Amino acid sequence: MTSEGIAALGDVPRRTAHQEVLDRLRRAILGGTLAPGTPLILSDLSKQLGVSRTPIREAIRDLAAEGLVDFDSYRSSIVHTPTLDEAQEIYELRLILEPIAVRRAVANITDEELARARTLHERMLETTELGAWVELNRDFHQTLTDPARSPRLLSIITSLRNAAAIQVALSLRARASQLGQANEDHGRILDAYARRDADAAVDFTQQHLRSTLAVIEAYEQGDAEAAEQPSGAS
């Protein structure tokens, strides 16, 4: 990890060190500042972020639980390197489980929850920072599935969605124009929820997931032209 890459993370207010470090590192990973395979060296991070090693260790453990960081046999931490097999497994499971959650959520969602989803969508339309967009994307979809009120189902989906975050970031870096298409997809999904049209919400969500996987597959297989075809990100 270069000093320039770490420096881009900026200084961290001590008052909320753990959460700030977690947010900064997550966005650096999802935004590509900390590339896959990058070692996370505590002494370097401590110096550049201006905090002790303790909140950094805690943040790295949280990121490992999200699937963004791996530990090697010596317990050193490195940024996770996603694979095509991993992406295909994640999205196969999401395509099975998320339609169940979406159908239940459409029936239960409140006006307040819809308003929160709209606010997240508006923030995604405004941001140009990749790591921030990927986090908002995750929060957006969680806000739309939480009304399913099914704790076990949602726990599994949340785990899959966390693991997919780095894949989403990869697909966005593979095709820059994908961000705008993804925002349009989100608008269609929101409209379906607002109409309480479960069939349309499920259909748009499935299209959204499949298109993201298609870009990841094209990128991993070295097909740059296919990666440039219209697609969303989720």
Cα 196 from chain centroid (whole Å): 26
DSSP 73: T
| Residue 233 falls inside a structural domain | no
**Of 97, 17, 102, 96, nearest to 57 (Cα)?**
17
**Residues 24 and 47 both lie in one domain:** yes
CATH of the domain at 15: 1.10.10.10
**Of 173, 140, 177, 138, nearest to 158 (Cα)?**
138
The token pair at 190 is 């929101």
CATH of the domain at 204: 1.20.120.530
Question: 69: part of which helix (H) or strand (E)?
Answer: strand 69-71
Q: How far is CA 231 from CA 22, 64, 161, 171, 199, in A?
A: 29, 28, 18, 9, 20
Which of 30, 60, 79 is the endpoint of a domain? 79
> According to the model, what pLDDT value does residue 128 have?
84
- From CA 149, how far away is CA 108, in angstroms rounded? 8
**Residues 73 and 107 both lie in one domain:** no
| Range of the structural domain that residue 54 is part of | 3-79
* HSE (side-chain half, CA atoms, 13 Å) at 57: 6
Which of 79, 103, 138 is the endpoint of a domain? 79
**Residues 89 and 140 both lie in one domain:** yes
**Residues 44 and 120 both lie in one domain:** no
**Residues 65 and 92 both lie in one domain:** no
Coil, helix or strand for 48?
A: helix
Q: How far is CA 173 from CA 62, 97, 169, 178, 228, in A?
A: 24, 26, 6, 9, 11
Prediction pTM value: 0.80
Q: What is the pLDDT along the chain (234 residues), one digit of tens a residue?
A: 554 555 556 655 545 788 999 999 998 998 888 999 999 999 999 998 999 999 999 999 999 999 999 998 777 899 999 999 999 999 999 999 999 999 999 999 999 999 999 999 999 999 988 889 999 999 999 999 999 999 999 999 999 999 999 988 887 887 777 888 899 999 999 999 999 999 999 999 999 999 889 888 887 777 544 444 444 566
Residues 6+ apart with CB under 8 A from 14: 50, 51
**Of 94, 92, 88, nearest to 157 (Cα)?**
94
Q: With contact defined as beta carbons under 8 Å apart, do 140 and 161 qualify?
A: no
pLDDT tens, position by position, 39-64 = 999 999 999 899 999 999 999 999 99
> Sign of dihedral through CA atoms 159, 165, 171, 174?
negative
Q: How far is CA 163 from CA 26, 40, 119, 196, in A?
A: 12, 19, 24, 29
Which of 79, 104, 129 is the endpoint of a domain? 79
Angle value at C-alpha 136, between 134 and 137, nearest 5 degrees: 60
pLDDT tens, position by position, 67-78 = 999 998 777 899
**Residues 44 and 92 both lie in one domain:** no
**Residues 97 and 56 both lie in one domain:** no
